[in-house]
């Protein structure tokens, strides 16, 4: 079967690299001698600290860690790698003593992906490494696919000079609001991605409509209003984007049902989409657009409060936007005044 993600692998493939951490040189050399003939590049580390340093600074595809090492143990290194967003997807194999069932329990709790027992058996080592490398390759390709979609979103933003920096600011506003209202980790990731991806469906809207000075015709309005649906269709194939889809589809809904594309009301609109809706309007008002001048943040918040009173937006979220908008770390871009 053809791999649907295969076309994304461009250029010459990098040699898959394995990090081996063991304080015993003979054990390191044994693993190296078994793995190098299989086509893997090896980075050797004599202790846990060196292993952590290598995993964070070099392109590593798999880590094989001895449990007992001076300084940071294999368990600690594994725990650190799995709690760091930059290395949490790196597969980790812990090498334990043959009778180390207690070690395995600790290893599972530390997030290890697999185990090897000493003495190392060549066939078992190769089989486990191949299996984990295959999974790592799929994860890498998925990340490439996500990067392509995000790049597409940024290129759409770049088509319209009026919206420069809009996606990035929205990602910042949304996550700042999410943090304040206690969003969980998945929701925080969705909010950040939603900030970047929410308008990706505008790829289907002709540039002369996107950048038009003056009111849109009915047909043009219909074309623009399709962008949440088109955006959802673009991102649906990527399963890791599933939490972002409701944001993309519903970021123009209004609590009173006057929004689009589905005219959803109140609690039917996902919270993440309601957050983005408020941040989107605030950013649109405070930056120069073809159809209006930028207004100061305070006036934009007043517009949002009026909308909340009318029942369009969630008053509690407008209150959070008010707090987030004045954060010094989140400067409001005001142009043209
Ligand atoms: Fe939009």
pLDDT tens digits, one per residue of 24-70? 999 999 999 999 999 999 999 999 999 999 999 999 999 999 998 98
How far is ligand 1, taken at its centre, from the CA of residue 139, in Å?
29
How far is ligand 1, taken at its centre, from the CA of residue 248, in Å?
8
Residues annotated catalytic, as ranges: 202
Does the pLDDT at position 331 exceed 50?
no
pLDDT digits (tens, 9 = 90+) for 113-148: 999 988 899 999 999 999 999 888 888 887 787 888
**Is residue 124, in this structure, part of any structural domain at all?**
yes
State the CB neighbour count (10 A cutoff) for residue 155: 11
Q: How much is the pLDDT for 7?
A: 41
Domain count, the chain: 2
Domain that holds residue 286: 160-325
Q: How much is the pLDDT for 98?
A: 58
Residues 186 and 316 reside in one and the same domain: yes
CATH code where residue 259 lies: 1.10.3210.10
**Is residue 208, in this structure, part of any structural domain at all?**
yes
How far is ligand 1, taken at its centre, from the CA of residue 228, in Å?
6
Q: Within the chain, where are the H helices?
A: 25-35, 48-57, 74-83, 101-110, 122-159, 166-180, 185-197, 207-210, 218-225, 227-235, 245-250, 271-286, 297-310, 315-325
Residues 215 and 135 reside in one and the same domain: no
CATH code where residue 134 lies: 3.40.50.2300
Q: Which of 98-102, 210-214, 261-265 has the highest mean pLDDT?
A: 261-265
Q: How much is the pLDDT for 113?
A: 92
Residues 259 and 305 reside in one and the same domain: yes
How far is ligand 1, taken at its centre, from the CA of residue 201, in Å?
8
Return the structure tokens found at 111: 């997030």
The answer to pTM > 0.75 is: no
The angle subtended at Cα 55 by Cα 52 and Cα 60, nearest 5°, is: 155
Residues 103 and 217 reside in one and the same domain: no
State the CB neighbour count (10 A cutoff) for residue 129: 24
**Is residue 73, in this structure, part of any structural domain at all?**
yes
How far is ligand 1, taken at its centre, from the CA of residue 281, in Å?
10
């Amino acid at each position: 079967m053809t791999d649907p993600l295969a076309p994304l692998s461009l250029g010459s493939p990098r040699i898959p690299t394995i990090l081996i951490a063991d304080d015993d040189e003979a054990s390191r050399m044994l693993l190296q001698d078994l793995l190098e003939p299989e086509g893997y590049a090896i980075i050797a580390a004599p202790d846990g600290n060196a292993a952590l340093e290598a995993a964070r600074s070099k392109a590593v595809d798999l880590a094989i860690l001895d449990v007992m090492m001076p300084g940071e143990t294999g368990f600690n290194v594994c725990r650190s790698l799995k709690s760091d967003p930059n290395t949490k997807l790196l597969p980790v194999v812990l090498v334990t003593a043959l009778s180390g069932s207690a070690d395995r329990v600790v290893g599972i709790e530390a997030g290890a992906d697999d185990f090897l027992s000493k003495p190392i058996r060549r066939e078992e080592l190769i089989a486990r490494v191949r299996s984990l490398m295959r999974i790592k390759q799929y994860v890498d390709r998925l990340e490439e696919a996500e990067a392509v979609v995000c790049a597409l979103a940024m290129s759409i933003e770049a088509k319209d000079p009026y919206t420069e920096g809009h996606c990035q600011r929205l990602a910042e506003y949304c996550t700042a609001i999410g943090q304040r209202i206690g969003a969980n980790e998945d929701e925080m990731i969705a909010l950040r991605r939603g900030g970047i991806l929410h308008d990706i469906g505008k790829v289907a809207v002709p540039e002369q409509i996107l950048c038009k000075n003056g009111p849109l015709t009915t047909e043009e309005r219909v074309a623009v209003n399709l962008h949440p649906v088109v955006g959802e269709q673009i991102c649906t194939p990527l399963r890791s984007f599933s939490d972002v889809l409701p944001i993309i589809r519903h970021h123009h809904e209004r609590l009173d049902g006057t929004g689009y594309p589905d005219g959803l009301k109140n609690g039917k609109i996902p919270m993440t989409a309601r957050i983005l809706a408020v941040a989107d309007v605030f950013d649109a008002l405070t930056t120069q657009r073809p159809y209006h001048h930028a207004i100061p943040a305070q006036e934009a918040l007043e517009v949002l409060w009026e909308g909340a009173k009318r029942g369009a937006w969630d008053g509690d979220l407008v209150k959070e936007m008010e707090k987030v908008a004045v954060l010094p770390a989140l400067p409001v871009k005001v142009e043209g005044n």
